[in-house]
Amino acid sequence: MTKSFDAIHTTVREHYADIARSRDTSSECCEPSACSCSDSLYSADMLVNLPADVTGLSLGCGDPITLADLRPGDTVVDLGSGGRIDCFLAAKRVGAEGRIIGVDMTPEMIERARANAVKVGAGNVEFRVGQIEALPVQDATADAIISNCVINLSPDKPKVFREMFRALKSGGRVAVSDIVTSGPMPEALQNNLEAWSACVSGAIPAEEYAEGLRDAGFVDVQVKPKGSADTALSLIPVGTPFSALITARKPRSL
């Protein structure tokens, strides 16, 4: 990859600022041809009592909320929260004694998210401006870290993984829905900034993603294609981007 980290951050931030300013609803993180995103990421019962302008701004590729097995009283950090639905769904799971911290580098998204929090009365949700490579949270803050189709947008994923590890409590867990690939992409595509914002160029091989989490200190790492439990990585054509469900855990001794 030859594009600078700053150039990637700027392009991605501008892309999602445009979405926050100009689009009322969206359920896709990327173009339909680019990955296996779906219009039906959440079950209908999860969306009860949430207004359309909250549920419409998903921009995700899966359901990390169910994957995370959130519990009452949990503190949850959402990486790249935007103005979308995941923080509010998580808030319902953790209850009034829990806490949700959404982190996003796009001020326009944060502004929209804060307005949505007021609209739905989510007093246990807060949003902070920051990059996921430098999370604005203290060490050992979170019981769980979630993210939905965002880490693929980072130009420095090892740093993101280290920040996740730092922010988690001992025994804390990771539940992420993200775009990965079955093998490396051509360098020309990796340097395509437009495709980067569309959740394509920044995707890395599933094996590399898992290894990055392990290198950061995580255990029990799993990266599985979204969908049928019988889907195997070996059946996906080489270089193809796809939606994956990713879980990991910080050892309890740390």
**Residue ranges of the domains in the chain?**
5-249
Q: Above 50 in pLDDT, residue 93?
A: yes
Q: Share the mean pLDDT of the chain.
A: 84
**What confidence category does residue 208 fall into, taking pLDDT thresholds of 50, 70 and 90?**
very high
Q: Above 60 in pLDDT, residue 33?
A: no
Mean pLDDT of 159-164: 98
Which CATH topology does 5-249 take?
Answer: Rossmann fold (3.40.50)
Between 54 and 127, whose confidence is greater? 127
Judged on CB neighbours under 10 Å (0-12, 13-18, 19+), 2 is exposed
Between 163 and 4, whose confidence is greater? 163
For 55, the token pair is 């549920």
Per cent of the chain over pLDDT 90 is 54
Lowest-pLDDT range of 11-25, 63-77, 197-211: 11-25
Q: Above 60 in pLDDT, residue 132?
A: yes
Q: Above 50 in pLDDT, residue 232?
A: yes
Between 80 and 48, whose confidence is greater? 80
What's the pLDDT at 70? 97
Q: What is the pLDDT of residues 70-90, one digit of tens each?
A: 999 999 999 999 866 899 999
Question: Does the pTM of the predicted model rise above 0.95?
Answer: no
What's the pLDDT at 7? 81
Mean pLDDT of 180-206: 79
**What confidence category does residue 168 fall into, taking pLDDT thresholds of 50, 70 and 90?**
very high
What's the pLDDT at 89? 94
Q: Above 70 in pLDDT, residue 233?
A: no
Those residues whose C-beta lies under 8 Å from the C-beta of residue 145, and which sit 6 or more positions away, are 76, 77, 78, 79, 164, 167, 168, 172, 173, 174, 175, 176
Lowest-pLDDT range of 38-52, 107-121, 136-150, 238-252: 38-52
Write the DSSP string, the chain. Answer: --S-HHHHHHHHHHHHHHHHHH-S-B--SS-TTTS---S--S-GGGGTT--HHHHTB---SS-HHHHHT--TT-EEEEET-TTSSHHHHHHHHH-TT-EEEEEES-HHHHHHHHHHHHHHT-TTEEEEE--TTS-SS-TT-EEEEEEES-GGG-S-HHHHHHHHHHHEEEEEEEEEEEEEESSPPPHHHHT-HHHHHTTSTT--BHHHHHHHHHHTT-EEEEEEESS-TT--GGGSPTT-EEEEEEEEE--TT-
What's the pLDDT at 26? 47
